[in-house]
Structure 1
């Protein structure tokens, strides 16, 4: 870190009222300091990581700031920072959407530092992960809520700091595309839901981020429970809790189980939170709507508005755990986080080209599961990027995959996705398509 940044940090530390959340301090070595980083320290630490690993990292901010003016900062980790690489899947992880749920915030700061450090140490697993994955980490989506929670962290109020500065729960603030989906609405319904819903600045920034990047996989880190939650989050009939599977229920359960089984306690008996369901009976996972229905959530918006599959991770019973628990929580979550990111490489991926070899933007990828004669269309189509790329997360099985676009002759291929042993590095099968023009 440069001398100027250190002076700025020391100056701010001198005017900040220090509290029991931890001293504002700068380490002189590369050892990670576990603490509850305030919003300034969060950005300083991300800058420090970027400085330590300039060849594999980039800092950027979303298009809007929080209500109180804090940037929504992201650190990108990849071998080609700032540029999308053909057929390299992009993963995002977001934390601190609810300002008083802070464990995920600290875990993502630690994750960014860990990936940087282990890459420099030539950790084979991390080097391979970055060679074939572009990772975007946002430690805090709600810095204003964090300020409120941190200033009142001894309060018994379960909700204090949960919302943003305008008092809006950001995980109820996304366009409710579930309603459009359940009613089998059309594209105009989708556009209308975006236009008519007045979102908070933090939400608007995330929506634009989702819609302008080819994210394949995502996790949303929360706290207050210990479970991996998967879509749908909302019930179709307005009931409080009814299992509501998405068309990709099988894949989502796999993603949730991947996290829960690699977490050191999430799937183990005696890990339940007081007055909560015993999710360990289900392997530490739950369908969101079966737990309780959420309208306007970020998880379902990702799935219904883009090609991105997102799950919600509740990391622990304590929303604001004491500092001394953070190292233990990192060990609980470290392998689960890395294993989850690797799931961007399951299923298939490929390119859709025309007969002249040009990319076809917006081609539809439709999948039918024909495993053991099932013959079930997975009613969730994906679309190709401007470069003609697609990624389709799928679990082992036999599938018929069709690529199609208006004025082109559809092409169908049969794909067998085989189970992989724990020793194998998972990778998506390459399935390319070449579409011929349909002439009337």
Structure 2
């Protein structure tokens, strides 16, 4: 019994030493991923924060690692960014890439100038696996492995509320509810979710009801110019995504990008939900022809995606940001911040800090801010290219109390929209201070303990 205990201890310590040496290019199971994230959090405690946003159907934690200069809480003026991997359990490349991105960012802080500027100016959230149950059930087949769905047999990327279809109170899966709650807890600005089975960057909308958004086979959003730019940023910084047809029998994607609906209509998708209800611009990244490629391909996949992952994060600094304040300097929550000419299905609103973020390409834009009991304010802003300086244009709006105490936002202040089937009432955003998590980490010097272990065996 003592020998068995010692053997188990040694195997555990071996895993810790492996983590210290560097992350292997292989598929780590859910337990190993959890151990790795906890070790990273312990070793880089001032730079990272680890918490679970919920549990899968089978009770596995959905771990999110936050990285940045202020990892434990939102800071006014610092945008929130996220990457989500492994939404489909058998599409595994994103899961691997996000773990290696974590390693690259933590090791490069204060030594790599680009990494340092990204982490000093951005709060980055990484969810390596949204569907750990599916991953554990998956089989290693290039395209036809099992494990796509969650434990209930549901495709998580068809389970979110949809702005273009009537929703008959569809049951939300545990993993989807966790992500929806996560979106309401942080003022996310930009996101990408990582998939496999093709090599292309896809952007909203994924769905349409045949209204004015449907144009020449694409479902075009009010921020289409920004989405095209975001997709091209990833594609052009990827070694070969921008070349188009990268997979056998794949559709030829010009410049390596596609409108989601133009590729194929998709109801209940996560990227449309992020954009319409979360005020977070999200694209979908298809990163490998094989959904479950051999481990020998993983180093190459990391090499071709690393520059694109970094360049895309930088785009969180596009456009304009700031606060909406009343005449006394207090933040105004739920003020509408609308850009002339962009008729969003759900108008963008300020969060509990009165903050707003609006991703925009360089140019001149007229921004209108309205709030109940306040006089509307309009301002034309000249927006530079923020990613170069790692900061969007900063502009605060100050509202004056209306002379009529009964004044409220009139219908004319809200642009005509194609009305979604669910209320556009903004989610209650509660930028968190500190997420509680039961963090466990190695309490021994692993190399010394491992040496002793080997002497005992």
Report the Cα offset of residue 157 of structure 1: 6.4
SS of 1:352's partner is: strand
> Given the two structures, how large is their TM-score scaled by the length of structure 1?
0.85
Q: Deviations over 1:349-402 (max 9, x none)?
A: 01110001101011110001xxxxxxx344352111111111000011211011
Query: In 1, Cα distance between the equivalents of 2:44 and 2:317?
Result: 24
TM-score, structure 2 as length reference: 0.82
Measure how far apart 1:11 and its partner are. 6.5
For residues 8 and 165 of structure 1, do their structure 2 counterparts lie closer, same or farther at Cα, with a shift above 3 Å needed?
A: farther
Alignment of 1:34-433 (within 5 A): 34-62=25-53, 64-119=54-109, 121-149=110-138, 152-154=139-141, 158=144, 160-179=146-165, 193=167, 196-237=169-210, 242-268=217-243, 271-279=245-253, 282-368=254-340, 376-379=341-344, 381-419=347-385, 424-433=388-397
Which is higher, the Rg of structure 1 or of structure 2? 2
Give distance in 1, aligned partners of 2:148 and 2:12: 26
**How far 1:78 moved relative to its partner?**
1.2
8 Å Cα contact 1:173/1:203 also seen in 2: yes
User: In the superposition, relative to structure 1, how do residues 128 and 67 fare at CA in structure 2: closer, same or farther (>3 Å)?
Assistant: same
Q: Which runs of 4+ in 1 moved over 3 A?
A: 6-13, 23-26, 377-380
Q: CA deviation at 1:266?
A: 0.5
Kindly state the Cα deviation for residue 302 of structure 1 after the two structures are TM-superposed.
Answer: 0.5
State the shift of 1:29 in Å: 3.9
* TM-align CA RMSD: 2.3
Find the aligned partners of 2:132 and 2:66 in 1 and give their Cα distance: 19
How far is 1:31 from its partner? 2.4
Aligned equivalents of 1:390, 1:8: Cα separation in 2: 51
Q: Take 2:194 and 2:202, find their aligned partners in 1: how far apart are those partners?
A: 10
Q: Do 1:352 and 1:434's aligned partners in 2 also have CA atoms closer than 8 Å? A: yes
**Is there any run of 5+ residues in structure 2 with no aligned partner, and where?**
1-5, 405-457
Higher relative contact order (CA 8 A, sep 6+): 2
Gaps of 5+ in 1: 1-5, 14-22, 181-192, 369-375
The verdict on how the C-alpha distance between 1:138 and 1:8 changes in structure 2, with shifts beyond 3 A counting, is farther
